[in-house]
Amino acid sequence: MLALFTMAKEKSVYSCQSCGYQSPKWMGKCPDCQGWNTLVEEKKLEILETRTFHEESLSPIPITKLSTQETFRTSTKIKEFDRVLGGGLVEGALVLVGGDPGIGKSTLILQALDAVAKQNIPVLYISGEESLDQTKLRAERLHAGSDSLYLLSETLLEKSIQEIKKLKPKVLAIDSVQTLYTSELDSAPGSIGQVREVVARLLYLAKREKITTFVIGHVTKEGAIAGPRVLEHMVDTVLYFEGDGGKSYRILRAVKNRFGSTNEIGVFEMSERGLEGVENPSELFLSERPLNAPGSVVVASVEGTRPMLVELQALVTPTTLALPRRTTMGVDHNRVSLLVAVLEKRADLALYNHDIYVNVVGGLKMQEPGVDVGIVVSVASSFLNKALDPQSLFLGEVGLTGEIRAINHIEIRAKEAARLGFKHCYLPKSNLKKLKSKIPIEFLGVSTVDELIRLIF
Ligand SMILES: Nc1ncnc2c1ncn2[C@@H]1O[C@H](COP(=O)(O)OP(=O)(O)OP(=O)(O)O)[C@@H](O)[C@H]1O
Ligand SMILES: [Mg+2]
């Protein structure tokens, strides 16, 4: 049994379209996000609802009295997608999927829905962006098609909900949340108020009817999912689909997941037949590596439980500027400045009159400190114009006194390198002492940046 109490009253508010700030009067500048001219009037019939999912939750019950059913997960048969979701689709979960225009959001979701439909599970794909013909064309390209996959082209929320209740799908996709609108609000589709209300209603439906729901969202110029941050708080899982402009591969990342780890990433390649999972991303990222080129180095990062070898490149050139340029892509700018300072002070490299560019090949973003040694070595390599041994891997975090500090997951990183034919692995001395497993790679322990630079050049 469900309980739903509603009360309604007329109200008009001004909502900031970029951050969701609300004010009773109009202002030229949003006091929260400082955006100009972002406040828009939203006349609305405010619905004050007490939404409860189960009658039992109306009164407190001891946790031990609750029956524990193991979360049942449905596999999408797309290994990379399941991995990011934490092992498959969870009943009643609401998943928000964001990503740049044209990155492949609709493709990914349609492929996943089709794979579920092929297991004779009814699924519904509601598109407010494309006509049924367009969706059918895409489905043909993906070789998707199953009697259990239903399509609907609709933008009115109330009508969509009516159809959902009639069809009773197990999995639902909304493409996109910005095109869906409720007739209860006056504001335009895609406005903050609409988006928030649409997601709230879908969430209610997902929990009540136990429908796994995917909601595709557009992203803003800054790359966040358009609409207020509150959206990310409301849903169970937030996935971002990223890619590097012209390149064909894409990375799916969970930034929030109530049913799994947020460290796992999925790597896909966009092809004529749609998105295909990449089982060995290291091979993909190292495929175009120039051998014996100064400034190029291979580092290993661990995303969740999966190691990935990636090429890092640095270019150091004499500058004519009073303030030398420090440009980074894929690694933190401040981190690079700090490491350059360490190199100057601890390894006596005169970098102060040089421009420095550091880039992670393939458009990946690397945030973990385990790549510090790789950055230091690539900058030194370019500065000294001496290439590094292409079969060496560099691991470790660098401290301000120039010490090389231990990092975690050394063994899985080294194993991946050995698998790809690497012969040497430079690692923190403190890690070397604890190393147990037999990996066919030569381990060389180093304790300071200075020692490492002398050893390799
Ligand atoms: N025949 C094809 N071969 C290879 N790639 C294709 C082909 N057709 C489309 N694509 C790729 O699919 C992408 C479009 O995918 P999709 O429509 O799923 O993106 P989206 O993220 O949903 O975009 P939007 O934000 O417009 O909804 C194109 O940018 C292109 O990279
Ligand atoms: Mg789309």
Q: What is the 3-state secondary structure (H, E, C) of the chain?
A: CCCEEEEEEEEEEEEECCCCCEECCCCCECCCCCCECCEEEEEEEEEEEEECCCHHHHCCCCHHHCCCCCCCEECCCCHHHHHHHCCCEECCCEEEEEECCCCCHHHHHHHHHHHHHCCCCCEEEEECCCCHHHHHHHHHHCCCCCCCEEEEECCEHHHHHHHHHHHCCCEEEEECCCCCECCCECCCCCCHHHHHHHHHHHHHHHHHHCCEEEEEECECCCCCECCCCHHHHHCCEEEEEEECCCCCEEEEEEEEECCCCCCCEEEEEEECCEEEECCCHHHHHCCCCCCCCCCEEEEEEEECCEEEEEEEEEEEEECCCCCCCEEEECCCHHHHHHHHHHHHHHHCCCCCCEEEEEEECCCCCCCCHHHHHHHHHHHHHHHHCCCCCCCEEECCEECCCCEEECCCCHHHHHHHHHHCCCCEEEEEHHHHHHCCCCCCCEEEEECEHHHHHHHHC
pLDDT value at 330 more than 50: yes
Q: What is the pLDDT of residues 76-127, one digit of tens each?
A: 989 999 999 988 999 999 999 998 888 999 999 999 999 999 999 999 999 9
Q: What is the pLDDT of residues 204-238, one digit of tens each?
A: 999 999 999 999 988 766 666 666 566 888 899 99
Residue with the two structure tokens 């008009």: 12
Task: Looking at the CA of residue 101, tell me the nearest atom of ligand 1.
Answer: 25
What angle do the packed helices 449-456 and 372-384 form, to 10 degrees?
A: 50
With 0-12 CB in 10 A as exposed, 13-18 as middle and 19+ as buried, what is 68? Answer: exposed
Q: What is the pLDDT of residues 1-46, one digit of tens each?
A: 444 444 445 667 888 887 778 888 899 998 988 888 888 887 655 5
- Beta-bridged to residue 216, according to DSSP, are 97, 175
State the pLDDT confidence band at 185, using cuts at 50, 70 and 90. confident
| 269 in the same domain as 184 | yes
Output phi, psi for 231, to 5 deg: -55, -45
- Rounded-to-integer distance, Cα 396 and Cα 408, Å: 9
CATH number of the domain residue 440 falls in = 3.30.230.10
Does residue 373 form part of some domain? yes
What lines the ligand 1 site, CB under 6 Å?
99, 101-107, 129, 141, 270-272
Does residue 172 form part of some domain? yes
Bridging pattern class, strands 296-303 and 306-318:
antiparallel
User: Does the model's pTM come out above 0.75?
Assistant: yes
| 390 in the same domain as 358 | yes
pLDDT value at 62 more than 90: no
Task: Looking at the CA of residue 272, tell me the nearest atom of ligand 1.
Answer: 3
CA angle centred on 229, ends 225 and 233, rounded to 5°? 110
Does residue 403 form part of some domain? yes
Does residue 22 form part of some domain? yes
Which of 54-58, 60-64, 99-103, 426-430 has the largest mean confidence? 426-430
Does residue 66 form part of some domain? no
pLDDT value at 305 more than 80: no
Q: What is the pLDDT of residues 372-422, one digit of tens each?
A: 999 999 999 999 999 999 999 999 999 999 999 999 999 989 999 998 999
Per-residue pLDDT, 6? 46
Contact of 276 with 251, CB cutoff 8 Å: no
Question: Of 157, 158, 180, 184, which is closest to residue 10 (Cα–Cα)?
Answer: 184
Is the Cα torsion angle 144, 145, 149, 151 positive or negative in sign?
Answer: positive
Percent of the chain with pLDDT over 90: 56
* Structural domain of 317: 284-456
| 76 in the same domain as 12 | no
Number of domains making up the chain? 3
Mean pLDDT of 182-186: 86
CATH number of the domain residue 106 falls in = 3.40.50.300
Domain boundary among 14, 35, 59: 59
Per-residue pLDDT, 4? 46
Q: How many CB atoms lie within 10 A of CB 247?
A: 12
d(CA 172, ligand 1 centre) in Å: 20
Bridging pattern class, strands 4-16 and 22-23:
antiparallel
| 102 in the same domain as 19 | no
- Rounded-to-integer distance, Cα 247 and Cα 425, Å: 30
Does residue 392 form part of some domain? yes
| 253 in the same domain as 400 | no
- Rounded-to-integer distance, Cα 190 and Cα 71, Å: 33
The residue contributing the CA closest to ligand 1 atom 15 is 104
More confident: 20 or 135: 135
Question: Of 252, 137, 204, which is closest to residue 3 (Cα–Cα)?
Answer: 204
| 321 in the same domain as 243 | no
Query: Mean pLDDT across the chain, nearest whole number?
Result: 87
250 alpha carbon, closest ligand:
1
CB contact set of 434 (below 8 Å; sequence gap of 6+) = none
| 308 in the same domain as 413 | yes
Structure token digits, residue 142? 């993906």
d(CA 328, ligand 1 centre) in Å: 29
Mutate to test the pocket of ligand 1, among 81, 97, 105 (most ligand atoms within 8 A of CB): 105
Does residue 64 form part of some domain? no
d(CA 76, ligand 2 centre) in Å: 19
d(CA 112, ligand 1 centre) in Å: 15
- Rounded-to-integer distance, Cα 154 and Cα 160, Å: 7
What angle do the packed helices 157-167 and 192-209 form, to 10 degrees?
A: 10
| 251 in the same domain as 331 | no
Bridging pattern class, strands 442-446 and 424-428:
parallel
Mutate to test the pocket of ligand 1, among 111, 270, 276 (most ligand atoms within 8 A of CB): 270
| 182 in the same domain as 49 | no
Per-residue pLDDT, 55? 47
| 193 in the same domain as 49 | no
CB contact set of 280 (below 8 Å; sequence gap of 6+) = none
